[in-house]
Amino acid sequence: MPYSGSLVHYVEHLFFDDVVMKQTKLINAIIKASQVLEFLASNGESNLSTMSRELKFPKSTTLRLLSTLISVGYIEQNPENYNYNISRKFVEVGLKVMEKYDFVHISRPYMLELAEKTGETVNLGVIDGLEIVCLDQVSSKHSLRNDQPIGSRILAHCTSIGKSMLANLDEEEIDRLFLGKTFELVTPNTLINLKELKKELKLIRSRGYAIDNEEAVQGVRCVGSAIVNHLGKPIAALSIAGPSVRITKKDANKLGPIVKETTKIISKTLGA
């Protein structure tokens, strides 16, 4: 019989059934369930065979995960072709979470204004470990542009959003973040070690904005500045992004003060 409670109650139900014997299985099940949800969120409606193959799960395991997620309302099955997809309930949960990120809503009108003023794509991102996650975007009206999908991730050390946020951290935090980490060379312009990054961060601190000089994507240049909270801690950053044929190095330094001023206003709105 399908479990009719919430996802949290379902997990509690499994957990307290046999705490000692099922604890490890429960953790693995949650990890696998999250992979199913992420797959459907990225790829859209899909069938059992495709998900089993792409996720490298046995069909029986995939089916059990899908059945469980259907029972708690986070996945639905198309009655016509029996494919699976993310449900409206899951989308609603995501929106409720996003409501807590006030800076996303506060930043939106300023992003629209910045995109209109510069004619380029404006991105809003946050740092997660050593990666940047794109939370919102206003696309350029130009046909030649490089848009990052919402939710996409890119290494922080080669982006203007990442570098501008890192520049607002102290030396100890930087060292802790990059302890034992190697720098991936994404393009020929990517910074390749912590010494180079720290030198760049010092420059960013002095001028208030960061430049991604084709470090993440060849042919794309970005200019970013951090949004800080009332404690002066970076919580997000904005970037202006466009093809390097339109945003030259000289142009990037003209755009820097513009994006810096925008993030300064948003930061003040948030209590900085």
Clarify whether residues 161 and 59 are in a common domain: no
Q: What range does the domain containing 82 cover?
A: 7-95
Residue 172 has pLDDT above 80, yes or no: yes
CATH code assigned at 197: 3.30.450.40
* Percent of the chain's residues with pLDDT above 70: 88
Residue where a domain terminates, one of 95, 130, 145: 95
- Over residues 3-43, the pLDDT tens digits come to 444 444 444 444 444 444 444 556 788 899 999 999 998 89
Clarify whether residues 214 and 242 are in a common domain: yes
Assessment of whether the complete model's pTM goes beyond 0.75: no
Residue where a domain terminates, one of 28, 62, 95: 95
- Flag whether 68 is in a domain: yes
- Print the SS3 string covering the chain: CCCCCCHHHHHHHHHHHCHHHHHHHHHHHHHHHHHHHHHHHHHCCECHHHHHHHHCCCHHHHHHHHHHHHHCCCEEECCCCCCEEECHHHHHHHHHHHHCCHHHHHHHHHHHHHHHHHCCEEEEEEEECCEEEEEEEECCCCCCCCCCCCCCEEEHHHCHHHHHHHCCCCHHHHHHHHCCCCCCCCCCCCCCCHHHHHHHHHHHHHHCCEEEECCCCCCEEEEEEEEECCCCCEEEEEEEEEECCCCCHHHHHHHHHHHHHHHHHHHHHCCC
Number of domains in the chain: 2
- Over residues 221-244, the pLDDT tens digits come to 999 999 998 888 899 999 999 999
Clarify whether residues 195 and 215 are in a common domain: yes
Residue 99 binned pLDDT confidence (cut-offs 50, 70, 90): low
Residue where a domain terminates, one of 45, 61, 95: 95
